[in-house]
Amino acid sequence: MAGFISTTIPYVNARPHLGHALEFVETDAYARFMRRDEDEVFFLTGSDENSLKNVLAAEAAGLSTADLVARNVVAFESLQHRLGCAPDYFVRTSVDPLHREGATAVWERLVAAGDIYTRAYEGLYCVGCEQFYEPSELVDGRCPDHLTTPDTVREDNYFFRLSRYEDDLLKALESGALRIHPESRRNEVVSFVRSGLQDISVSRSSARAHGWGIPVPGDDSQVMYVWIDALTNYVNALGWTRDDPRYERFWAGATRRVHVMGKGVIRFHAVYWPAMLLSAGLPLPTDLVVHGYITAGGRKLGKSLGNAVDPDALVDRYGARAVRWALLATFAPFGDGDVTEERLVAAYNTDLANGLGNLVSRVTSMIGRYRAGTVPAGAVGGGLTGAVTAAIGQVGQAMTGYDHRTALQHLMTLVARANAYVDENAPWHLARESAALDTCLLHLAGAVRALGSLLRPFLPDAAAEVLAALHQPPDLVVAAGTWLDGLAGTPADKPAPIFPRLDPPAT
């Protein structure tokens, strides 16, 4: 069977910050983990380009909007690549013909369902968020994210009959057809829907949008509200309007359709988007995974706050492995937290350089020294069997709940257990030709192989190097019941350091 997973598509009005890196890396790890269960997984990402933010950023930079987004989108694609993320498709909403065609077709379906009408609208609009706010949602009259005073905007708009979908949305949420992780976010959404849904404005005057955006079909004086066009990217990129087999396989017929997002955009993904899909007669996503924010001094990162942490600079300084590890192993997936350079280096050195890296090096050198570089046969039960079996189950269970940090804690527990097993058995004191030494080395090789397999979704390149030390293929999946199968007789080579120690940041 097949699965689908997406990041949100960021505005590309500035260079990416560390919060973008977090979502890219999380989604990449989830996609790689899903590939263990599904025959095929489609990992979608892209850029949200039809935004007034981009128009304003381009004006400030003295560029055309098209030139600004084309320039900035390169930085996002390049960051994904540098972080080892491997999306299957990158949709650019201002230029991708699949997207423009699809957004228009979704709109036409909403019209055909009788869910689009016009009325005058006046509201408080934050350009930074591209979102209208209720006065009660503001903090001291200001946008809670941007700390700026929203503009009062009045214009004739098209509206979507969101109110019609209250019951259907509750049914999807309560039946588990639409799951939201974590549970606390699901509860927030359920009470929001229960409190009553208002119809939403889904277009803007072309004049206020400076002519930038996807025109409302049949009315050139209006463009689609950027969120409404952006949300449809998830099905447009699969070519749903063109009878593309990818749409059938990865959306309509997929076992899981997963959207990963930050907590600030949950209402768009958990309420507006499913209601649009219901109106258009298309299947809903099955899972929404809602991460928190990387913060600096307790505040969300963002260019407009002037505290954006440059993920490219971190990759330059510490390498992609250390950055991926910090994001996946130290950041609580559903909470907020600071990621500092000190924590990044400490986590990498403790977990990888001293932990896993040291274990791989010890085990392969002992097999070299005591068994001429070939993994020996030995007793199958006991030893590390319990620890390896538990880790395989626990990592799988944590990732089923999209909890990468807990998964990696279980992985590190196995590293610690295997390092302790070396010291308890002291292979250097065992009789050189003993069966006890055979079994000890076999179990250590098995643990290293299982760790390489478990590490793959998180650090794919490093995992391949761990597995290569035992001449195992990079896509090997180790299962609990067969964790030692086929290992005896394979060569073990001590690799070049997979995780060289990092110097602490200069202070």
Least distance CB 146 / Zn ion (angstroms): 4
Site string for Zn ion, 129-148 (x = CB under 5 A): x-------------x-xx--
457 binding Zn ion? (CB under 5 A): no
Q: Which stretch binds Zn ion (CB under 5 A): 128-136, 230-238, 260-268, 406-414?
A: 128-136
Q: Is 128 in the site for Zn ion (CB under 5 A)?
A: yes
Helix H segments across 255-331? 266-267, 273-280, 311-318, 320-325
CB of 29 to Zn ion, least distance (A): 29
CA distance 318 to 503: 9
Region near Zn ion per CB under 5 A, out of 33-41, 119-127, 364-372, 444-452: 119-127
Sorted by sequence, the CB contacts under 8 Å of residue 106 that are 6+ apart come out as 232, 235, 236, 276, 280, 282
Amino acid, single-letter form, for residue 185: R
Query: Which residue's CB is nearer to Zn ion, number 84 or number 128?
Result: 128
DSSP 360-427: HHHHHHHHHHHHTTBPPP---SSTTHHHHHHHHHHHHHHHHTT-HHHHHHHHHHHHHHHHHHHHHH-G
Residue 262 found at the interface with Zn ion (CB under 5 A)? no
To the nearest whole angstrom, how small is the minimum distance from the Cβ of residue 125 to Zn ion? 9
Q: What single-letter amino acid sits at 156?
A: D
For position 296 contacting Zn ion by CB under 5 A, the verdict is no
What is the rounded CA–CA span in Å between residue 49 and residue 366?
Answer: 55
Min separation Cβ 143 and Zn ion, Å: 3
Contact 439, 430 (CB under 8 A): no
Size of the site for Zn ion (CB under 5 A): 6
Contact (Cβ atoms closer than 8 angstroms) between residue 155 and residue 123: no
Asked if 341 contacts 505 with a C-beta cutoff of 8 angstroms, the reply is yes
Q: Which is nearer to Zn ion, 151 or 219 (CB)?
A: 151
Q: Which is nearer to Zn ion, 147 or 420 (CB)?
A: 147
Q: Is 149 or 221 the residue whose CB approaches Zn ion more closely?
A: 149
What kind and span of H or E run contains 224? strand 219-224
Residue 14 or 66: the one with the smaller Cβ distance to Zn ion is: 14
Q: Which residue number, 293 or 421, has a Cβ lying nearer to Zn ion? A: 293
Please report how close the Cβ of residue 185 comes to Zn ion at its closest, in angstroms: 20
Of the two residues 138 and 476, which places its CB atom closer to Zn ion in the complex? 138
Min dist. Cβ of residue 65 to Zn ion (A) = 20
d(CA 323, CA 25): 9
Stretch that binds Zn ion, among 111-119, 122-130, 309-317, 356-364 (CB under 5 A): 122-130
Q: Give the residue numbers marked as catalytic.
A: 17, 20, 126, 129, 143, 146, 300, 303
126 lines the binding site for Zn ion (CB under 5 A): yes
Min separation Cβ 133 and Zn ion, Å? 8
Beta strands 337-338; 299-300: pairing state: unpaired
The sign one gets for the Cα dihedral 456, 182, 237, 129 is negative
Other residues' Cβ atoms within 10 Å of the Cβ of residue 507: 5
Residues contributing to the site for Zn ion (CB under 5 A): 126, 128-129, 143, 145-146
